[in-house]
Structure 1
Amino acid sequence: MADAAETETPEDDDIPAGHALGGGEGGDDLSDEWNSMVGEEEGEGAAAGTPERILNQDEIDSLLGFSMADEEGADKSGIRAIINSALVSYERLPMLEIVFDRLVRLMTTSLRNFTSDNVEVSLDNISSMRFGDYLNSIPLPAILSVFRAKQLDNYGLLTVDSNLIYSIVDVLLGGRRGTSAMRIEGRPYTTIERTLVQRMIEVVLQDAKAAFEPLTEVDFALERIETNPRFAAIARPANAAILVKLRVDMEDRGGRVELLLPYATLEPIRKMLLQQFMGEKFGRDNIWEGHLATELWSTRMEVSAVLDEIRMPLGKVMNMQIGDTIYLDASPDSPVEIKCGSVPLTEGRMGRLGHSVAVRLNSPLSTRAKQKLMRSV
């Protein structure tokens, strides 16, 4: 009978929430579990004696987004994800990914020709980050090259890590295959090492120019080589930039190349980079363009036929009286200058058409005059 009573007890709704079932420690555990179930069903109306659930350390780390095991991981959650999304929140540039995929293919071919070795280039990651954070994250020693995008009128940064530097030097100077490149830490790079890496950087910049060529013409010119990140500041620390990490593998040797382009550098071609595919049009209405062109062709413009111009002192002009004569150095065969405001357009000859004085044009509008008119409009 006692067992039957204990079996039917959990179904009885008249038992108090804090009553221990079955006695002993097992009864206390069963009572606590029952109280928690009642609290979940009743919400805020649960009994006051229901114990609150305490989060463990793993749940707290997951909520806040902080994890000591994966501090540098790309996947972040919780509050940290919200904070990071507020720090750098910029629009995605689909065409830029296509450009860098093209850069990877071009670099694979050009570096194979440059090193005469089997080279594989892969794209690791494309991300957005603050410029100051990137400078602080560069592992030293490294070589930083500052280059200028001429058509975009701004700068970029190309970083070559230590592993790739020693690998390139070893390959170009005839190092044995199958052996890792020798690294000598604690000393600056020699002139030979800097010169060889500079040649590789020039090859990469030429490939970057070819990668951007289907989109727009951009010439990347190497400005200087630095080994200290403080001397490679091309933007303010708070400015956002696009970081592209490329992996270069030469059999058992290799390293990483990082290309940093500030958003200010990409701003002139931002609309092109927003395209989903090459040649996409943005914000253009063919009907409106045709209507605007029609109205421009039918626009009336006032022009002046200038027979001659002379200069005289202002005092003489102020003292002119009725009946005074101004002599011009123009004859009936002198050319007449046609102007629109202060912009000279072309020249013509004076004549008569019916009962009106007319001017016949001798030449079409000059290109320079057209440009001035467009700027004035």
Structure 2
Amino acid sequence: MTAVLPGGLLRREIEEQPAVWARLVDEGAADLQAAADLLRDVDPELVVLAARGTSDHAATYAQYLVHARLGIPAMLATPSAFTAYRAQLRYPRAVLVAVSQSGESPDLIETVRAAKAAGVTVLSITNTPGSTVARLGDLHLDLGCGPELSVAATKTYTASLLALHAVVSLAAGDPWDAVRARVGGAVTAAEEVLRADLPGGPVVDAALATDRMLVVGRGLSMSSAREGALKLMETNRVAASGWSAADATHGPLGQVGPGTLVLLLTAGSAARASVTDFGTRAADLGATVVTVGPPAGLSPAHEVPLPPHVDETLLPLLEILPFQLLAHAAALGRGLDPDTPEGLAKVTRTH
């Protein structure tokens, strides 16, 4: 067996993502349509999104998307309510969407069981068809990523985003050809980002020069702001957090000082102004500011451009790629193995 160099698994799984996305809308087309049909048939008054960790960041993305495209209230589940407090909820007509890479987190399983006991229809989205969460779903959508061996999730996160995008778009009435075309544009753009091997030397050097990082986005990009911070934290042993620009100007700005690395998600036009405003304030406090997307009137220390002309609702798939690459490169620069961060496990078994 060929030995895998430190970080080799993570790097390979990062690079697999465009092919995973293309395969999902090709081989998984019928399942995506079936999930959208289920959502339309139930005609829910409420969508509940149940997930943990990285999958919870994907659920945050879906919450914004359901609001914007379907006009239905969407809420994030609180799994501890069912495991720690034994809550029994009464739901309106609802669909619960359970998102999980492994499908075996105990408190997520209990959340799904409680919803089913209350008569709620469950759509499960996992990368493990035989898992408990998959079996509990009234319908299961397989992400089809193949094994993800690095502890830090990459392709399962972006595949979850893509699956949620396709299901919500189809449920909103978008033609399949339009969905496929949007995804095709994102696949091409992702290949371009990965070929460029962003973020490059200066941004890696900036990350190595600090142990305090802040990632700021807003709206749809909140998912990848939080996920980007998580990748940096779990692979680099640094203090990193992801925030909405609307919240970051309250408490988080207080942690910014000379040398703090502040990474801004500026690609989305709908929320760009508040993100760049935060960047200006952070720069005034001495932060090293990096824009992922257009500089948008800022004079950042470093810029990580993204390809233009990608549908705004799919930008979070592209925005996370530089963070995955940065987490990988900076971990190696610190002498760490990003494949197996010390103290972390692939499946989090919270009860």
- Fold similarity call, TM over 0.5: no
Relative CO higher for 1 or 2, CA cutoff 8 Å, sep ≥ 6? 2
Choose between structure 1 and 2: higher strand proportion.
1
Q: Which band: TM-score by shorter chain?
A: under 0.3
TM-score, normalising length: structure 1: 0.23
TM-score, normalising length: structure 2: 0.24
- Whose radius of gyration is greater, 1 or 2? 1
